[in-house]
């Protein structure tokens, strides 16, 4: 039994770190990232429910933003935040699905829907379950609960997947870096706009990002698996 175990362990390790198939290194990394983000999201919710130092930190950030808020930047961040309005996000997601169909990249359709719909639905369930009120110094009123930020979740599952698609299409390292940088600037800008406009606490945005990352990892993992299956000649619907 001991000899069998000694032979089995290196085999399993090599299998987990194999680079020639999805269920090797790619799957291992995605699972580790998924688990890490899931634990972080749980930790944020735990701190929110216990109301320890999280509320004080949120208030400190909001008070600082209030001191540096200017009419010009308010107008700018209103434009930025509009990029993740539900109506705009739904329209852009439909356009992206149509784009994938026209380009015959249907292998990405289901992964994108998993990422987008999963993020939207769990965000709504989280808001209803936790029922956190909005900050009092908001530029405009919102009708939904505060935690987690829906705009931040949408920024990750929508723009994150779109930029992932175009990142995959780039052939050069420079091109990939440019796409990644543009995606990060846009996603971080949307999240910061929610704090700057006073419609969310910092922890709302962080929670929204983490929730979105969970579903983005799920969508990317599914896309990578489907791409590998397609290269093997399997029928992908």
Q: Range with the lowest mean pLDDT among 15-29, 59-73, 155-169?
A: 15-29
Taking the model in full, what pTM does it have?
Answer: 0.77
Domain count, the chain: 1
Residue 130 lies in a domain: yes
In angstroms, the CA 61 to CA 192 distance is 11
Residue-number span of the structural domain to which 86 is assigned = 22-231
Over residues 81-98, the pLDDT tens digits come to 999 998 999 999 999 999
Instruction: Tell me if 26 sits within 8 A of 224, measured CB to CB.
Output: yes
pLDDT of residue 49: 56
pLDDT of 57 reads: 81
Cβ contacts of 101 within 8 Å, gap of 6 or more = 109
87 within a domain of the structure (yes/no) = yes
Domain presence at residue 8: no
Q: What is the pLDDT of residue 125?
A: 86
Tell whether 118 is covered by a domain. Answer: yes
- Say whether pLDDT at 26 is over 80: no
Please check whether residue 222 lies inside any domain of the structure.
yes
Higher pLDDT, 43 or 5: 43
| DSSP element (H, E) containing 95 | helix 86-102
Does 14 reside within a domain?
no
How far is the C-alpha of 23 from the C-alpha of 14, rounded, in Å? 11
The verdict on residue 3 lying in a domain is: no
Structural domain contains residue 161: yes
């Amino acid at each position: 039994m001991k000899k069998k175990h000694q032979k089995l362990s290196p085999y399993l390790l090599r299998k987990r770190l194999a680079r020639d198939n999805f269920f090797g290194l790619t799957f291992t990394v995605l699972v580790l990232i998924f688990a890490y983000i899931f634990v972080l999201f749980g930790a944020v919710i735990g701190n929110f429910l216990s109301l320890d130092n999280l509320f004080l930190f949120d208030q400190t950030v909001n008070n600082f933003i209030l001191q540096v808020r200017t009419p010009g930047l308010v107008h700018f961040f209103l434009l930025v935040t509009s990029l993740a309005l539900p109506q705009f996000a739904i329209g852009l997601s439909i356009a992206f699905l149509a784009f994938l169909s026209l380009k015959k990249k249907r292998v990405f359709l289901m992964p994108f829907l998993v990422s987008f719909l999963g993020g939207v639905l769990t965000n709504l369930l989280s808001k209803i379950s936790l029922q956190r009120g909005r900050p009092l110094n908001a530029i405009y009123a919102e009708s939904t609960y505060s935690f987690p930020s829906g705009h931040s979740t949408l920024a990750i599952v929508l723009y994150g997947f779109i930029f992932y698609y175009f990142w995959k299409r780039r052939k050069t390292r420079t091109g990939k870096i440019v796409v990644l940088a543009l995606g990060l600037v846009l996603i971080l800008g949307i999240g910061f706009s929610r704090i700057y406009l006073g419609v969310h606490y910092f922890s709302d945005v962080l929670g929204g990002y983490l929730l979105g990352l969970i579903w983005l990892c799920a969508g990317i993992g599914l896309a990578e698996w489907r791409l590998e299956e397609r290269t093997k000649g399997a029928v992908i619907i």
